[in-house]
Structure 1
């Protein structure tokens, strides 16, 4: 039995935290300065984490290795499975020539690349985040932008930054509802507080996206469109999070924002149309035009995809897909039986209930969670199967495209498995909690540092849900001890966490895989890291003000 010790190094929390932060610093150094390929940086970071966990935090060798194996398996399913199926679906539309029609349809709304980024990266990406999460939004929306003609690096970077606004309410509100269990605070109360922080970012994000693309002067030209996109999203996000709960803010906000901007573009045009340098082909230069039926057919894979992942996200159906449904509905009962056959949760040897939580002394459960039917990637695969019949693709060609897709992203999959394995090692060793505890020592300044806990958690785990589960109790206890409202602390953990998503090793690997930037993950990290820090500071300042000056904003 291994007991997590947060002062394992020289019996000091400070020295222990200094050791615990080394893998984070190493990974950033490996990508940004050494410019290692993603899978090399991921594998060497995993080795560094294993050595530190074993040598300094006294984790048994076998336990550390098996914890890494648990993370690697999670990296394949559900995360890697989403990437394979998302890129595969996109490749099918390209190989069949249907993506040219999709491109035409977007250009028919606007040829302006700035508005296209708002429609696809911000609004459509947010919708996918609300319905599925787990990497699918960035993978699909970034691939769409590349197909429209965006530079792959900018497509991936813009979609990762745009994903900041919806992450806290992603996958039907799981990041928020996950905090209710360990803290006992109702999810609706946390949802209300997050809904009084993130809308301020949601207004700013569209402006930031366009400014990154074209600079201030050309951003000012489309300010009306930016305001329509951001304000409609933010208002809907606030209202739905405060009056409906955490499940629907992303889906509703994205739909309202998307429709509002599309309608607005029917009545307003920017003075100049922004196109990329040397771009010549425009919709007006095309001799070809497409009917509404052809456009609908071309978009059908993504419409079907949206339908499938939306159904997969419904809590009752999700429970049946994973074999946990306990109701009497016949269809769900049959689905539940199939879900049981396709759900595997074997215990992780040497890890399952072999590690004592250092704060509670409770054994930690650890299983290989293989929910084959319930995974979002399976929903995307089913969309690809339906697409095969709509586009009249032979099975031979369908499997050929699938094989080529798997071959294309083998190294990104290795990167994902390595970085998720690293996350599981440092979590099991207690290194992540050590970093949290050192920040909790900031006393009266804790409201400012509270979001940084979430930022660190998401950087390490790649998931706002995981970061919230990891630090929710610590946030609650620390907030009570320093006189901060615990609901604000929990919201800060989630809001701060979303700003770390764009630099998480997992997110970078996913985005790079989606747009064909294998081996260039370092460029993507350099693209996003400064914006991650800027947005984090905004959340830190806002949380501090809400705790000390703007307390009327706390529900």
Structure 2
């Protein structure tokens, strides 16, 4: 059995940490600086990790390669198994026209663009994040906002900033599930802790969106509906992640928040902006009252608060009226998902499903924990094919196809289109997980974690920054959790912090790096026809990302002390 040591280089933890961090440096430099494709960057980093594992840590070549295989397999199942089937459900609604009906349904809820930004980018974006993730909410929300009359740059900015609070529970909880699987922490504990951090962002982001759209006037006139939406999302996210279902957290929160928002809008007199719509060329259509958040990051500065279906400079769009049955069919897939996951948690049903789980030691991989000497937990593979989240989503998709009378040919074609769209994401996630497993099992992650533990009291404050950096570079909270999850837990255990706190902080801080990631910036620019203006989008959102990150760092630090330590109690 191979047992790594923490300080293989001359007995120095510092020098060993520098060498152990080389694969991460390779990955971040290739991806973030040289703009190499994500899967190629991860592949180069994987090769570096294997080299360090063999040359510096003395890990047998066969075991290092075997750990990479196990990591890649974990990336495919259960992680991408979840993502593929979640996106398939969404793709079927697109191919059959039901998604367009849903889009119109959201657009008709309000003709005020400040509230449309909250409805589409935040509420509906969260629903898309729950089912798809991986950039889909930014792309789809941006296009929907433009169709409602937003200028392209503003649509992209709003969609990027909105795609924060739901990310940790995106793709049916994939980032949190990955974090739990890799660290060995109970899923309910990790989910509960994340669910006591990200709701703070949820309460703030809708208010920030109305400020981005219409400056200080937007805050004065629409702060209450925006705040009510954010608070209801926060409460629903907390309750669902702590007491109901990790997988359904964003689905429930999105539906609850839009319901509360509609109720508040119908009972509140919200004054409409008095100014004329701004053109794409002026310097700020709302006058001096706009504030710094409502201006453009380039040529687009208008708020364009026209009516739904009427653009600021595109003329009037003919309104399409959908029948009640068509609207119900548009919402049906999400209802099916909720029912399927709710039924799967009924004790007798859950017991039957759990019989379809096969737990076994990965053959040929004999690795001990560098501290305890016991067999490493991550060498055990859980092939829970029946109760897996991805399987429940596949069942939901089949039921949706039957209830909406979608032909098998269309359903299969949608599945093929989904696999084609995700082909590079599948390869990237598998390679990143292979990298994570090699670093974890060879001892590289433990070395870095023990070194970082020397930060002492500052560790809790800085832990969200590590997740933020990981997502800013990789574009994925799942990948950031795979890279740094065990590192955070190792550092926590060696510093006296609750491992659940720092593990959750990695994911919660990571969501704030999403709007800065080259992947999301490129998606937003492509969706809105702003190719080449990614640097402008970056300058527009970087300040908000850092401000919210500071808020998260303070929260985690206070949760590590007696001031807010009560938040972590059951």
User: TM-score normalized by structure 2?
Assistant: 0.73
**Counterpart in the other structure of 1:145:** 141
* Aligned-partner SS, 1:286: coil
1:109-508 correspondence to structure 2 within 5 Å: 109-112=109-112, 114-119=114-119, 122-123=122-123, 136=132, 141=137, 145=141, 148=144, 157-158=160-161, 160-163=163-166, 191=192, 197-209=197-209, 214=213, 216-217=215-216, 220=219, 222-234=222-234, 254-268=254-268, 269=270, 271-272=272-273, 274=305, 279=311, 285-312=317-344, 317-318=349-350, 320-323=352-355, 339=356, 343-351=357-365, 354-365=366-377, 366-451=379-464, 462=479, 471-472=488-489, 474-479=491-496, 486=497, 490-501=500-511, 503=513
Deviations 1:392-430 (A, max 9, x none): 332223222222322232122111111121111111122
Q: Which has the higher contact order (CA 8 A, sep 6+)?
A: 1
Secondary structure of the structure 2 residue equivalent to 1:349: coil
CA separation in 2, counterparts of 1:472 and 1:195? Answer: 18
Q: 8 Å contact 1:50–1:425 — kept in the other structure?
A: yes
CA distance in 2, matches of 1:246, 1:312: 10
Unaligned runs of 5+ in 1: 324-338, 480-485
Superposition deviation, residue 81 in structure 1? 2.0
Secondary structure of 2:361's match? coil
Q: CA deviation at 1:358?
A: 0.9
| Shift in CA distance, 22/470, structure 1 to aligned 2, threshold 3 Å | closer
Aligned residue pairs, count? 515
For the 8 Å contact 1:172–1:246, the answer to whether it is kept is no
Counterpart in the other structure of 2:22: 22
- 8 Å CA contact retained: 2:17, 2:447: yes
Residues 376 and 31 from structure 1, CA distance in 2 versus in 1: closer, same or farther, beyond 3 angstroms?
same
Shift of 1:227: 1.4
1:471 deviation in Å? Answer: 4.3
Distance in 2 (CA, whole Å) between partners of 1:46 and 1:181 is 22
Residue 36 of structure 1 deviates from its aligned partner by 1.8
Native 8 Å contact 1:2 1:355 kept in 2: yes
Within 2, Cα distance between the matches of 1:231 and 1:237?
A: 10
**Structure 1: distance between partners of 2:350 and 2:314:** 43
Per-residue Cα deviation, 1:498-555 (whole angstroms, up to 9, x for no partner): 11246589x99899999999xx9x9799698876654443333334456568368566
The corresponding residue for 1:328 is: none
Q: Return closer, same or farther for 1:86/1:164 CA change in 2, 3 Å cut-off.
A: closer
CA RMSD of superposed structures (Å): 4.8
SS at match of 1:369: strand
Partner Cα separation in structure 1 for residue 310 and residue 52 of structure 2 = 50
What is the alpha-carbon distance in structure 1 between the residues aligned to residue 470 and residue 28 of structure 2? 15
CA contact (8 A) 1:502 1:508 kept: no
Deviations 1:125-158 (A, max 9, x none): 66788xxx7x745677557536635679768744
- On the 8 A contact 1:456/1:500 being kept in 2, the answer is yes
Q: 1:433 to 1:368 in 2, by over 3 A?
A: same
